[in-house]
Amino acid sequence: MIKLIQHPLIECKLSIMRNKNSTDLEFRTCLDEIASLMTVEALKDLETVQTREIETPTGAKVMKTKLAKEIILAPVLRAGVGMVEGVRRMVPKARVGYIGMYRNEETLQPVEYYFKLPNIKDATVVILDPMLATGGSIAMAIDDVRKHGYTNIRCICLIAAPEGKKFVEERYPDIDVYVAAMDERLNEVGYILPGLGDAGDRIFGTK
């Protein structure tokens, strides 16, 4: 299910990312900061456990609390890499694996070239990819993660198109996909409108 995270700080930072005149540095900084802000909401249902008693400076006793399960961040290369540090700022002990894929520019079908996640099957896997356009890439990423035996999966994206939302919701009614904006549509070459252009190129300055 697509879950929209709305926050004034995210809106301001996203508008900087959408501006074609923003620099690569501004683009990366805003993506990184939005990823941190989204993490708070996207992980708010995580279970915690209390491990041992600790003492506060007042002499009072409280329990130390930690996450019940490990977190694995799974950025989809390349653009998902731009979200990793922002999420990890909030979850410093998260492990990181990579899912390598690109969209064939003519067919818009994803092509996978790499998959490596830490081997902790009961971890919560958080797939990261800023752009959910047709939904093909995130679907292939979810299928791969499942195929490798992970069952607890959620996704954090930045912008979704209605086409991708429909595709993902029909195919994965049990998986939460957090987004910061629902845009209007795809254009004739599969880019999100109004969108922000090619996320990977803007993060890495490849165009």
The Cα diameter of the chain in Å comes to 66
Return d(Cα 32, Cα 45) in angstroms, integer. Answer: 22
Nearer to ligand PRP, 75 or 123 (CB): 75
Judging by DSSP bridges, how do beta strands 192-193 and 181-182 pair with one another? unpaired
Question: Interaction with ligand PRP in 170-199: which residues (CB under 6 A)?
Answer: 190, 198-199
Q: Minimum distance between the CB of residue 96 and ligand URA, rounded to whole angstroms?
A: 21
What the block records as the tokens of 30 is: 């805003």
Q: Which two tokens stand for residue 9?
A: 């700080």
- Check residue 35 for interaction with ligand PRP (CB under 6 A): no
- In whole angstroms, how close is the CB of 143 to ligand PRP at the nearest point? 13
DSSP 197: S
Interacting residue ranges for ligand URA, rule: CB under 6 A: 79, 131, 133, 191-192, 195, 198-200
Among 37, 67, 90, 108, binds ligand PRP (CB under 6 A): 108
Give the three-class secondary structure for 206: coil
Residue 107 burial (C-beta neighbours within 10 Å; 0-12, 13-18, 19+)? exposed
Choosing from 110, 126, 142, 183, the residue that interacts with ligand PRP (CB under 6 A) is 110
For the chain, how big is the Rg over CA atoms in Å? 18
Query: Based on CB atoms, which residue is closest to ligand PRP, 72 or 196?
Result: 196
**In angstroms, what is the minimal distance from the CB of 201 to ligand PRP?**
6
Residue ranges that bind ligand PRP, judged by CB under 6 A = 76-79, 102-103, 108, 110, 129, 131-137, 164, 190, 198-200
